[in-house]
Amino acid sequence: MPTSKLKNLLNPCNEGDLGSLIGRAQRMGELTDVLCNALPESDRSAIVAANVREDGELVVICASSAWASRLRYESEKLLKAAKEAGVSAHTCRVRVSQG
């Protein structure tokens, strides 16, 4: 495949499937960073990823069940940080990473 075609395929501004997928991954990464920065420095490594579902549920993926328990106590802080970043979320669910 020519390089120019590949660059076009991976362009997040492109309305194609890969462009929208890359854009979504970037937004998830930015949200993860916002949520990590809302936590005390010692807890920032707990969050693996974050996403917002269409129904307004903030889903936070963490590294272990011990972190999940700890982050559930921080759910209001995480929701507040998401809202301050312009994310429309009303509930927070903490999940443990499968890998």
pLDDT of residue 64: 95
Cα gap 32→49, rounded to integer Å? 5
pLDDT of residue 12: 55
Total domains in the chain come to 1
pLDDT of residue 7: 62
- Looking at the DSSP bridge assignments, the partners of residue 58 are 52, 92
Q: Which domain holds residue 9?
A: 3-96
Pairing between strand 47-52 and 57-62? antiparallel
For the residues of 61-93, what is the DSSP string, one character each?
Answer: EESSHHHHHHHHTTHHHHHHHHHHTT----EEE
Residue 34's SS3 state is: helix
pLDDT truncated to tens, each residue of the chain (99 aa)? 566 565 665 565 656 667 778 888 899 999 999 999 999 999 999 999 999 999 999 999 999 999 999 999 999 999 999 999 999 999 999 999 986
pLDDT of residue 18: 77
- CATH (domain of 49): 3.30.300
> Any idea what DSSP says for residue 14?
S
